[in-house]
Structure 1
Amino acid sequence: MSDKSFPGNGPGRPKDPAKRKAILEAAKCLFLRQGYDGSSMDAIAAHAGVSKLTVYSHFNDKETLFAAAVKAKCEEQLPDLLFELTEEAPIEALLMRIGLGFYSLINSAESVGLHRTMIALASSNPRLSQLFYEAGPKQVIEEMARLLAEVDRAGKLRIADPHGAAEHFFCLVKGGHHFRHLIGCAEAQSAEDEQAHVCDVVELFLRAYRIPPLS
């Protein structure tokens, strides 16, 4: 029986949050270690210490579990509070926190492994690529766009297209070193180099979107 054809458990007893967390941790571990096709729901269940039926009671199929694992990884590294605008923190400090959190996320061993897996599957399983994008990168961009729209309304920066500005910011943070690291041409940067890189990106971003002084 294929992973997708196993029936869901349907309504019943309340689901155990601890078991759900264990399943997600197992899924993240195996998807990265063995790839998507090499990670069966049986193996994930065994790694989590639960039954296969329990896995399906929390996640209807392997694609759903994969998307949930990607989303959980992003939320671990970039919690929602990171995208909150406050009066206490200057915009520079907020952008630095987001930039450093994002750079740490995309350059982590898990993220690099996952991206390499998705590149390998891009032509053979575009549906999975779409799930990955919607569960991870798309949500991060949308949260950043929401924040930048709020920044514009608060008069801190002038951002006519928050979504485009969010994509600009994250593309700048990725930079050239991340691509070299992704394809195996460079090692991960030191914490000092990461800090300097993100600082340069924030300064460039602020120059691009700063409100010009009145003449």
Structure 2
Amino acid sequence: MTAAPSPDPSSALSFDRRTGAGEDPVKRRQILDGARRAFVGLGFDAASMNDVVREAGVSKSTLYVYFRSKEDLFRALIECEREAYLAEVEALLTDPGEPADTLRRYGRRLARLVMSPEAMHAKRTVIAVAVRMPELGREFYRHGPQRGLALLSAYLEKACAAGTLAIDDVPLAAAQFVELATAGVLRRRFFDDEAPPPDDADMARIVDSGVALFMAGYGAKAR
């Protein structure tokens, strides 16, 4: 009796490396990049799944394997940017012994993010569709700004425990710092799409002034 042939290890390896339907990260990224171009170029409401197919260079059947709708695509785009930013922020907010320096670094990163063209477009899109899709607005806030405030609040709590800050209402103080870091420019950028983004020197000046005010009010020595 002839023995059954041994399995080819290389074939098994190839099989193990294959990804299931909708699980290829490179293809997923390709689709998301195409969706971003379609949404930015045409506007979320005007862009169709056919526009995404064209921009992404994939078939319609492939697109629907990964994403069921424009809303799914938009959520995924926001999630990708949000998770990368929150991970970066968490890494910045680690030294409760030096709150002025830490908040200065955090504030400059925050200002660059929230006033970037991509962030402004995402916020305008959410507001534009929130009337008919209120759950999208809630998700955007709860999983984005609210989580960011929670990370900042956790850092401020640690600084208070370390004795470098003295704050009675930490959530309020966190919200105040976010406003200070973007004072005078965020609203103009939001409503006027022709307003130029502030350069690094402008953002540094705004954030440094905000940190000085924050420390004057909440620095431990101020009490």
Output the CA distance in 1 between the equivalents of 2:88 and 2:173: 20
Residue 62 (structure 1) aligned to one of 51, 67, 70: 70
Output the CA distance in 2 between the equivalents of 1:47 and 1:103: 30
Residue 127 (structure 1) aligned to one of 135, 143, 146: 135
Please say if residues 96 and 159 of structure 2, whose CA atoms lie closer than 8 Å, have aligned partners that are also in contact. Answer: no
TM-score between both structures, scaled by the size of structure 1: 0.78
1:83 maps to a residue whose letter is E
2:90 maps to a residue whose letter is F
1:39 partnered with 2:31: no
1:142 partnered with 2:165: no
Q: Any idea what the Cα deviations from partners look like across 1:33-83, whole Å, max 9, x if unmatched? A: 22222222332233223333433433443323212211322344x351432
Please say if residues 50 and 60 of structure 2, whose CA atoms lie closer than 8 Å, have aligned partners that are also in contact. Answer: yes
Output the CA distance in 2 between the equivalents of 1:131 and 1:51: 29
Instruction: Report deviation, 1:196.
Output: 0.3
Output the CA distance in 1 between the equivalents of 2:95 and 2:23: 40
Root-mean-square deviation over aligned CA pairs: 2.9
TM-score between both structures, scaled by the size of structure 2: 0.75
Gaps of 5+ in 1: 1-10
Instruction: Report deviation, 1:24.
Output: 2.3
Output the CA distance in 2 between the equivalents of 1:67 and 1:137: 15
Please say if residues 83 and 98 of structure 1, whose CA atoms lie closer than 8 Å, have aligned partners that are also in contact. Answer: no
Gaps of 5+ in 2: 1-18
Please say if residues 189 and 195 of structure 2, whose CA atoms lie closer than 8 Å, have aligned partners that are also in contact. Answer: yes
> How many residues align structurally?
203
SS in 1 for 2:164: coil
SS in 2 for 1:176: coil
Instruction: Report deviation, 1:197.
Output: 0.4
Please say if residues 180 and 186 of structure 1, whose CA atoms lie closer than 8 Å, have aligned partners that are also in contact. Answer: yes
Greater CA deviation, 102-111 or 161-170?
161-170
SS in 1 for 2:187: helix
1:195 partnered with 2:204: yes
Please say if residues 177 and 186 of structure 1, whose CA atoms lie closer than 8 Å, have aligned partners that are also in contact. Answer: no
Q: Which residues of 2 match residues 97-136 of structure 1 at below 5 A?
A: 97-136=105-144
> Which structure is larger by alpha-carbon Rg, 1 or 2?
2
Instruction: Report deviation, 1:202.
Output: 1.1
Output the CA distance in 1 between the equivalents of 2:169 and 2:65: 41
Q: For residues 210 and 29 of structure 1, do their structure 2 counterparts lie closer, same or farther at Cα, with a shift above 3 Å needed? A: same
1:36 maps to a residue whose letter is F
Instruction: Report deviation, 1:16.
Output: 0.9
1:30 partnered with 2:38: yes
Please say if residues 45 and 52 of structure 1, whose CA atoms lie closer than 8 Å, have aligned partners that are also in contact. Answer: yes
Instruction: Report deviation, 1:26.
Output: 2.3
Residue 217 (structure 2) aligned to one of 204, 208, 211: 208
Aligned residues with identical type, % of pairs: 32
Q: Any idea what the Cα deviations from partners look like across 1:15-42, whole Å, max 9, x if unmatched? A: 1111122222222332222222222233
